[in-house]
């Protein structure tokens, strides 16, 4: 048997290129963007996102054997209990062991799933003491971010997607069209960020979702929902409105830039000056 070494070498080179391009993307500080040819979950950037990935993996290991078992039962039934193999059908109506087994085993599986599920839900919904409290308002079709008066001096700004003509070379290189925005949400690394999520009272329902930070919360007009995250890696993490909110649903991405505390403090000083003339009233944090 001949082995096509040239083909193997090309495949290895392609695989190496794929992984090095993925690593290069991470080294460039863009951890939350999809990569062409990516397989599997994106790299988590918070403990909640890590727990979501772990829970998903656990479910996968439960679902696979259950699915294979059901498939095997169906195959046995098709082969052994068809009309040709069994011209005289069985008249068995009850089997105590089977009835107890197919009741208890699914209950035990659901209990195994429920315990970590409730633990994860509790972690997502119980907001710890926040270092920073921010507000995101979904509008048609962009986001408005507000920094509280008692923590950041009080300012707000709109975040719109960048048109293709406005993308810089880095954004074009990494195919960030419909992900890159003109004004990112900036937060410091290793800080607990609590977010109040709502939507414009005259608008529609949106959803604030950033997969790598483990957050997805509906933005409902007239209602304030809350979520939180604590990013453990610097970088830019991208999300999108995950509700079908109207004709420009695809044009309201979310970009969260996680930086060091020093860079965050410097950005705050610049942002106060840059957005001072917006005329928006930033909310006061309840913390």
Is the confidence at residue 6, as pLDDT, over 60?
Answer: no
Pair 138, 120 in one domain? no
Pair 139, 265 in one domain? yes
Residue 198 has a pLDDT of 96
Pair 147, 258 in one domain? yes
Average pLDDT along the chain:
84
Pair 181, 66 in one domain? no
pLDDT level of residue 30 (50, 70, 90 thresholds): low
Alpha helices in the chain (DSSP H): 5-27, 47-80, 96-125, 149-152, 169-173, 261-274
Is the confidence at residue 17, as pLDDT, over 70?
Answer: no
Q: Is residue 137 part of a domain?
A: yes
Q: Which residues sit opposite 129 in a β-bridge? A: none
Q: Is residue 67 part of a domain?
A: yes
Q: Could you list the residue range(s) of the whole structural domain that residue 67 is in?
A: 47-125
Residue 285 has a pLDDT of 53
Q: Is residue 167 part of a domain?
A: yes
Is the confidence at residue 252, as pLDDT, over 80?
Answer: yes
Residue 77 has a pLDDT of 87
Q: Is residue 40 part of a domain?
A: no
Pair 180, 270 in one domain? yes
Q: Is residue 239 part of a domain?
A: yes
Dihedral (Cα; 95, 100, 105, 106), 10-degree rounding: 90
Q: What is the pLDDT of residues 121-174, one digit of tens each?
A: 999 999 999 999 999 999 999 999 999 887 767 899 999 999 988 888 888 888
Residue 152 has a pLDDT of 65
C-alpha distances out from residue 286 to 62, 147, 191, 199, 225, Å: 42, 12, 17, 19, 14
Structure-block tokens of residue 110: 């659901």
Into how many domains does the chain fold? 2
Pair 161, 213 in one domain? yes
- The region of weakest confidence among 31-40, 114-123, 171-180 is 31-40
pLDDT level of residue 28 (50, 70, 90 thresholds): low
């Amino acid at each position: 048997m001949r082995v096509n070494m040239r083909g193997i070498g090309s495949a290895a080179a392609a695989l190496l290129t794929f992984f090095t391009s993925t690593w290069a993307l991470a080294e460039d500080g863009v951890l939350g963007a999809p990569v062409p040819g990516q397989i599997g979950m994106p790299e988590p950037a918070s403990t909640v996102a890590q727990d979501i990935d772990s829970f998903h993996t656990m479910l996968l290991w439960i679902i696979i054997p259950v699915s294979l078992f059901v498939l095997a039962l169906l195959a046995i039934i098709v082969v052994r209990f068809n009309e040709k193999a069994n011209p005289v059908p069985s008249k068995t109506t009850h089997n105590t062991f089977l009835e107890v087994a197919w009741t208890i085993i699914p209950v035990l599986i659901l209990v195994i799933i429920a315990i970590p599920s409730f633990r994860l839900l509790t972690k997502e919904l119980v907001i710890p003491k926040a270092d920073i409290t921010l507000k995101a308002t979904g509008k048609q079709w962009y986001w408005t971010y507000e920094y509280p008066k008692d923590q950041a001096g009080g300012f707000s700004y709109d975040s719109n997607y960048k048109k293709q003509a406005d993308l810089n070379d880095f954004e074009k290189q990494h195919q960030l069209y419909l992900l890159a925005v003109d004004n990112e949400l900036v937060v410091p690394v290793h800080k607990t960020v609590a977010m109040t999520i709502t939507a414009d009272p005259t608008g529609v329902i949106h959803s604030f979702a950033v997969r790598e930070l483990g957050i997805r919360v509906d933005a409902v007009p007239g209602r304030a929902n809350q979520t939180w995250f604590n990013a453990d890696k610097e970088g830019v993490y991208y999300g999108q409105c995950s509700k079908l909110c109207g004709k420009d649903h695809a044009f309201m991405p979310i970009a969260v830039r996680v930086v060091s505390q020093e860079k965050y403090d410097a950005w705050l000083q610049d942002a106060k000056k840059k957005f001072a003339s917006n005329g928006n009233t930033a909310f006061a944090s309840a913390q």
